[in-house]
Amino acid sequence: MKIKKFSKKPFDIESRLGADPVVCYPNATIEDKNLSILHLARKNLIKKNELIIPPRDAKTFEVKFGEFFRIESLDGPQVGDLNLFSLNNLDEKFYSGKTRALYGTHLSVGDKMFSSFPYLRSLAMITWDTLDWYDYDKDGGSVHDVIGTRCDPYTSKLLSNNDYHYCCHSNLTRALVKEKNIELDEAEKIVHDVLNVFMLTGFTNDTKQYFMKASPVRPGDYLEFFAETDLLGVLSACPGGDCGSEHSSDVAKCHPLKVTIWKVDKKFIKNLKPTNISDYNRNHGLERK
Protein backbone atom coordinates (compact mmCIF):
# COMPACT_ATOMS: atom_id res chain seq x y z
CA MET A 1 0.00 0.00 0.00
CA LYS A 2 1.26 3.46 -0.86
CA ILE A 3 -0.56 5.50 1.77
CA LYS A 4 2.19 6.63 4.12
CA LYS A 5 4.76 8.83 2.42
CA PHE A 6 7.80 10.11 4.29
CA SER A 7 10.27 10.92 1.51
CA LYS A 8 10.61 14.30 -0.22
CA LYS A 9 9.76 14.52 -3.91
CA PRO A 10 12.96 14.74 -6.00
CA PHE A 11 13.81 17.96 -7.93
CA ASP A 12 13.74 16.04 -11.22
CA ILE A 13 10.40 14.39 -10.59
CA GLU A 14 9.04 15.37 -14.00
CA SER A 15 11.67 13.33 -15.82
CA ARG A 16 10.95 10.28 -13.70
CA LEU A 17 7.22 10.12 -14.28
CA GLY A 18 5.04 9.07 -17.15
CA ALA A 19 6.95 6.30 -18.93
CA ASP A 20 4.74 4.11 -21.10
CA PRO A 21 4.00 0.60 -19.82
CA VAL A 22 5.76 -2.28 -21.56
CA VAL A 23 4.26 -5.76 -21.29
CA CYS A 24 6.77 -7.81 -19.28
CA TYR A 25 6.05 -11.12 -20.96
CA PRO A 26 4.67 -10.76 -24.49
CA ASN A 27 2.87 -14.09 -24.90
CA ALA A 28 2.36 -14.37 -28.66
CA THR A 29 5.00 -17.12 -28.95
CA ILE A 30 3.04 -19.43 -26.63
CA GLU A 31 -0.33 -18.85 -28.26
CA ASP A 32 -1.88 -22.25 -28.92
CA LYS A 33 -2.65 -22.86 -32.58
CA ASN A 34 -4.69 -25.94 -31.64
CA LEU A 35 -7.69 -24.21 -30.10
CA SER A 36 -9.79 -24.77 -33.23
CA ILE A 37 -8.88 -28.49 -33.13
CA LEU A 38 -9.96 -28.65 -29.50
CA HIS A 39 -13.16 -26.76 -30.25
CA LEU A 40 -14.05 -29.40 -32.82
CA ALA A 41 -13.03 -32.19 -30.44
CA ARG A 42 -15.15 -30.81 -27.59
CA LYS A 43 -18.27 -31.27 -29.71
CA ASN A 44 -17.64 -35.02 -29.51
CA LEU A 45 -17.02 -35.53 -25.81
CA ILE A 46 -17.97 -38.76 -24.05
CA LYS A 47 -18.43 -38.56 -20.30
CA LYS A 48 -15.97 -40.80 -18.44
CA ASN A 49 -16.49 -39.89 -14.81
CA GLU A 50 -18.00 -37.29 -12.51
CA LEU A 51 -17.72 -36.35 -8.88
CA ILE A 52 -19.45 -33.94 -6.56
CA ILE A 53 -17.45 -31.68 -4.26
CA PRO A 54 -19.48 -31.07 -1.08
CA PRO A 55 -19.56 -27.51 0.33
CA ARG A 56 -16.58 -26.60 2.57
CA ASP A 57 -14.73 -29.70 1.42
CA ALA A 58 -12.44 -30.85 -1.41
CA LYS A 59 -11.88 -33.92 -3.55
CA THR A 60 -9.15 -35.18 -5.87
CA PHE A 61 -9.56 -36.38 -9.46
CA GLU A 62 -7.32 -37.70 -12.22
CA VAL A 63 -7.35 -36.61 -15.84
CA LYS A 64 -5.19 -38.23 -18.52
CA PHE A 65 -3.52 -36.40 -21.39
CA GLY A 66 -6.04 -35.87 -24.17
CA GLU A 67 -9.06 -35.77 -21.86
CA PHE A 68 -11.13 -32.72 -20.95
CA PHE A 69 -12.49 -31.79 -17.55
CA ARG A 70 -15.15 -29.34 -16.46
CA ILE A 71 -15.85 -27.59 -13.19
CA GLU A 72 -19.56 -26.91 -13.02
CA SER A 73 -21.87 -24.93 -10.76
CA LEU A 74 -24.68 -26.94 -9.12
CA ASP A 75 -27.65 -25.71 -7.08
CA GLY A 76 -26.36 -22.17 -6.52
CA PRO A 77 -23.47 -19.71 -6.91
CA GLN A 78 -20.24 -21.18 -5.58
CA VAL A 79 -16.54 -20.49 -5.93
CA GLY A 80 -14.01 -23.30 -6.38
CA ASP A 81 -10.30 -23.32 -5.55
CA LEU A 82 -8.33 -25.51 -7.95
CA ASN A 83 -4.91 -27.12 -7.45
CA LEU A 84 -3.28 -29.04 -10.31
CA PHE A 85 -0.31 -31.42 -10.21
CA SER A 86 1.51 -33.56 -12.73
CA LEU A 87 -0.02 -36.95 -11.90
CA ASN A 88 3.27 -38.84 -11.44
CA ASN A 89 5.32 -36.03 -9.89
CA LEU A 90 3.58 -33.98 -7.25
CA ASP A 91 6.61 -31.67 -7.10
CA GLU A 92 5.38 -30.28 -10.42
CA LYS A 93 2.38 -28.15 -9.62
CA PHE A 94 0.42 -25.18 -10.91
CA TYR A 95 2.35 -21.88 -10.78
CA SER A 96 -0.25 -19.18 -10.25
CA GLY A 97 2.28 -16.31 -10.17
CA LYS A 98 3.94 -17.10 -13.49
CA THR A 99 0.59 -17.84 -15.13
CA ARG A 100 -0.54 -14.38 -13.95
CA ALA A 101 2.63 -12.79 -15.32
CA LEU A 102 1.92 -14.39 -18.69
CA TYR A 103 -1.84 -13.84 -19.00
CA GLY A 104 -2.85 -11.18 -16.49
CA THR A 105 -5.08 -11.23 -13.45
CA HIS A 106 -7.88 -13.51 -14.72
CA LEU A 107 -7.90 -16.52 -17.06
CA SER A 108 -10.25 -17.57 -19.83
CA VAL A 109 -10.34 -19.51 -23.12
CA GLY A 110 -6.93 -20.16 -24.69
CA ASP A 111 -4.99 -19.47 -21.48
CA LYS A 112 -2.80 -22.21 -20.08
CA MET A 113 -2.08 -23.21 -16.51
CA PHE A 114 1.72 -23.34 -16.26
CA SER A 115 3.65 -25.51 -13.82
CA SER A 116 6.33 -24.61 -11.28
CA PHE A 117 10.11 -24.46 -11.83
CA PRO A 118 12.09 -26.30 -13.00
CA TYR A 119 9.33 -27.73 -15.19
CA LEU A 120 7.42 -24.70 -16.52
CA ARG A 121 5.08 -26.22 -19.06
CA SER A 122 1.36 -26.08 -19.66
CA LEU A 123 -0.55 -28.52 -17.48
CA ALA A 124 -3.94 -27.65 -18.95
CA MET A 125 -5.51 -25.17 -21.33
CA ILE A 126 -8.91 -23.56 -20.83
CA THR A 127 -11.11 -24.50 -23.78
CA TRP A 128 -14.51 -23.10 -22.77
CA ASP A 129 -15.83 -20.59 -20.27
CA THR A 130 -19.57 -19.94 -20.02
CA LEU A 131 -18.77 -16.74 -18.09
CA ASP A 132 -16.48 -15.22 -20.74
CA TRP A 133 -19.22 -12.64 -21.47
CA TYR A 134 -18.46 -11.02 -18.09
CA ASP A 135 -15.18 -9.56 -19.40
CA TYR A 136 -13.77 -6.91 -16.97
CA ASP A 137 -16.28 -4.71 -15.15
CA LYS A 138 -16.00 -0.99 -14.30
CA ASP A 139 -14.00 -1.80 -11.16
CA GLY A 140 -11.54 -3.96 -13.09
CA GLY A 141 -13.16 -7.08 -11.63
CA SER A 142 -13.48 -10.37 -13.46
CA VAL A 143 -13.85 -14.11 -12.85
CA HIS A 144 -11.33 -16.98 -12.56
CA ASP A 145 -8.47 -15.09 -10.94
CA VAL A 146 -4.84 -15.94 -10.38
CA ILE A 147 -4.27 -13.00 -8.02
CA GLY A 148 -5.66 -14.46 -4.82
CA THR A 149 -3.96 -17.33 -3.05
CA ARG A 150 -6.53 -19.53 -1.30
CA CYS A 151 -8.37 -18.87 1.93
CA ASP A 152 -6.40 -20.39 4.80
CA PRO A 153 -6.48 -20.76 8.59
CA TYR A 154 -3.21 -18.89 9.13
CA THR A 155 -4.42 -15.59 7.68
CA SER A 156 -7.71 -16.05 9.48
CA LYS A 157 -5.78 -16.49 12.73
CA LEU A 158 -3.56 -13.50 11.95
CA LEU A 159 -6.41 -11.12 11.21
CA SER A 160 -9.19 -12.42 13.46
CA ASN A 161 -7.50 -14.74 15.97
CA ASN A 162 -9.92 -17.37 14.79
CA ASP A 163 -9.27 -21.13 14.40
CA TYR A 164 -11.25 -22.29 11.37
CA HIS A 165 -10.60 -25.68 9.76
CA TYR A 166 -12.60 -25.57 6.52
CA CYS A 167 -10.75 -22.94 4.49
CA CYS A 168 -9.72 -24.04 0.99
CA HIS A 169 -6.12 -24.55 2.13
CA SER A 170 -7.30 -27.05 4.75
CA ASN A 171 -9.87 -28.65 2.45
CA LEU A 172 -7.22 -29.23 -0.25
CA THR A 173 -4.80 -30.61 2.36
CA ARG A 174 -7.43 -32.94 3.81
CA ALA A 175 -8.36 -34.31 0.37
CA LEU A 176 -4.71 -35.17 -0.37
CA VAL A 177 -4.37 -36.91 3.01
CA LYS A 178 -7.61 -38.87 2.76
CA GLU A 179 -7.59 -39.79 -0.92
CA LYS A 180 -3.88 -39.98 -1.78
CA ASN A 181 -2.52 -41.33 1.50
CA ILE A 182 -0.08 -38.47 1.90
CA GLU A 183 1.09 -37.53 5.40
CA LEU A 184 -0.57 -34.38 6.72
CA ASP A 185 2.61 -32.28 6.91
CA GLU A 186 3.69 -33.28 3.42
CA ALA A 187 0.24 -32.73 1.95
CA GLU A 188 0.04 -29.23 3.42
CA LYS A 189 3.41 -28.30 1.88
CA ILE A 190 2.40 -29.22 -1.66
CA VAL A 191 -0.91 -27.34 -1.58
CA HIS A 192 -0.30 -24.23 -3.67
CA ASP A 193 -1.85 -20.99 -4.87
CA VAL A 194 -4.99 -21.79 -6.79
CA LEU A 195 -6.98 -20.85 -9.83
CA ASN A 196 -10.01 -19.20 -8.21
CA VAL A 197 -12.70 -20.71 -10.41
CA PHE A 198 -15.84 -18.53 -10.76
CA MET A 199 -14.55 -16.06 -8.13
CA LEU A 200 -15.15 -12.39 -9.06
CA THR A 201 -12.20 -10.34 -7.92
CA GLY A 202 -9.89 -7.45 -8.70
CA PHE A 203 -7.77 -4.75 -7.12
CA THR A 204 -9.35 -1.56 -5.77
CA ASN A 205 -8.56 1.55 -7.81
CA ASP A 206 -7.20 3.60 -4.92
CA THR A 207 -5.21 1.24 -2.69
CA LYS A 208 -4.90 -1.69 -5.13
CA GLN A 209 -6.17 -4.09 -2.47
CA TYR A 210 -7.59 -7.47 -3.43
CA PHE A 211 -11.40 -7.28 -3.53
CA MET A 212 -14.18 -9.75 -4.19
CA LYS A 213 -17.81 -9.42 -5.28
CA ALA A 214 -20.63 -11.97 -5.44
CA SER A 215 -19.84 -14.36 -8.28
CA PRO A 216 -22.10 -14.16 -11.36
CA VAL A 217 -21.90 -17.97 -11.74
CA ARG A 218 -25.21 -19.82 -11.87
CA PRO A 219 -26.10 -23.54 -11.95
CA GLY A 220 -25.10 -25.00 -15.29
CA ASP A 221 -22.17 -22.62 -15.83
CA TYR A 222 -18.82 -24.31 -16.26
CA LEU A 223 -15.14 -23.80 -16.95
CA GLU A 224 -13.61 -26.44 -19.24
CA PHE A 225 -9.98 -27.55 -19.59
CA PHE A 226 -7.96 -29.77 -21.90
CA ALA A 227 -5.32 -31.87 -20.09
CA GLU A 228 -1.94 -31.30 -21.74
CA THR A 229 -0.32 -34.01 -19.61
CA ASP A 230 -1.56 -36.54 -17.02
CA LEU A 231 -2.99 -34.57 -14.11
CA LEU A 232 -4.04 -34.85 -10.50
CA GLY A 233 -6.59 -32.16 -9.72
CA VAL A 234 -7.86 -31.13 -6.29
CA LEU A 235 -10.89 -28.86 -6.03
CA SER A 236 -12.27 -27.16 -2.93
CA ALA A 237 -15.77 -25.71 -2.65
CA CYS A 238 -14.80 -22.48 -0.84
CA PRO A 239 -16.45 -21.70 2.53
CA GLY A 240 -17.07 -18.22 1.09
CA GLY A 241 -19.85 -19.63 -1.17
CA ASP A 242 -20.29 -17.00 -3.91
CA CYS A 243 -17.63 -14.92 -2.07
CA GLY A 244 -19.95 -11.91 -1.96
CA SER A 245 -19.62 -11.30 1.76
CA GLU A 246 -17.08 -13.27 3.77
CA HIS A 247 -15.03 -16.44 3.74
CA SER A 248 -13.05 -18.40 6.35
CA SER A 249 -16.21 -19.03 8.37
CA ASP A 250 -19.47 -21.02 8.34
CA VAL A 251 -21.53 -17.87 7.65
CA ALA A 252 -21.84 -17.84 3.83
CA LYS A 253 -24.36 -20.03 2.03
CA CYS A 254 -22.41 -22.72 0.20
CA HIS A 255 -23.22 -25.12 -2.63
CA PRO A 256 -21.59 -28.20 -4.12
CA LEU A 257 -19.52 -28.17 -7.31
CA LYS A 258 -19.37 -30.88 -9.96
CA VAL A 259 -16.24 -32.10 -11.77
CA THR A 260 -16.73 -34.13 -14.95
CA ILE A 261 -14.00 -35.89 -16.93
CA TRP A 262 -14.55 -36.36 -20.66
CA LYS A 263 -12.89 -38.58 -23.24
CA VAL A 264 -12.76 -37.92 -26.94
CA ASP A 265 -12.06 -40.26 -29.85
CA LYS A 266 -8.31 -40.09 -30.60
CA LYS A 267 -9.00 -39.21 -34.22
CA PHE A 268 -10.01 -35.70 -33.13
CA ILE A 269 -6.70 -34.99 -31.40
CA LYS A 270 -4.32 -37.24 -33.31
CA ASN A 271 -1.77 -34.50 -33.97
CA LEU A 272 -1.62 -33.27 -30.38
CA LYS A 273 1.18 -34.34 -28.04
CA PRO A 274 1.67 -34.01 -24.28
CA THR A 275 3.64 -30.92 -23.27
CA ASN A 276 7.33 -31.30 -22.41
CA ILE A 277 9.01 -29.90 -19.32
CA SER A 278 11.40 -26.99 -19.88
CA ASP A 279 14.66 -27.88 -21.62
CA TYR A 280 16.61 -25.06 -19.94
CA ASN A 281 19.91 -26.71 -18.91
CA ARG A 282 19.60 -25.57 -15.27
CA ASN A 283 23.23 -24.47 -14.98
CA HIS A 284 22.32 -21.02 -13.65
CA GLY A 285 25.73 -19.68 -14.68
CA LEU A 286 27.67 -22.39 -12.82
CA GLU A 287 29.65 -25.33 -14.16
CA ARG A 288 27.96 -28.61 -13.36
CA LYS A 289 30.25 -31.06 -11.53
Q: Which is nearer to Zn ion, 238 or 264 (CB)?
A: 238
Strands 80-86 and 68-73: unpaired
Is 168 one of the binding residues for Zn ion (CB under 5 A)? Answer: yes
| Cα dihedral across residues 165, 241, 258, 45: positive or negative | negative
CB atoms within 10 A of CB 48: 15
User: How far apart are CB 68 and Zn ion at their closest, in Å?
Assistant: 25
The residue from 143, 151, 176, 197 that contacts Zn ion (CB under 5 A) is 151
Task: Decide whether 110 or 244 has the Cβ nearer to Zn ion.
Answer: 244
* H helical segments located in 77-232: 96-103, 153-160, 168-180, 184-190
Residue closer to Zn ion, measured from CB, 232 or 235: 235
CA–CA separation, 3 and 13 (whole Å): 19
For the chain, counts of helices (H) and of strands (E): 6, 13
Q: Which is nearer to Zn ion, 168 or 200 (CB)?
A: 168
175 counts as binding Zn ion under rule CB under 5 A:
no
- List, in sequence order, every residue forming a beta bridge with 202; answer none if it has no partner: 211
Binding map of Zn ion across residues 98-137, x = CB under 5 A, - = no contact: ----------------------------------------
Q: Which of residues 33-92 bind Zn ion (CB under 5 A)?
A: 81
235 near Zn ion, rule: CB under 5 A: no
Note the residues at the interface with Zn ion (CB under 5 A): 81, 151, 168, 238
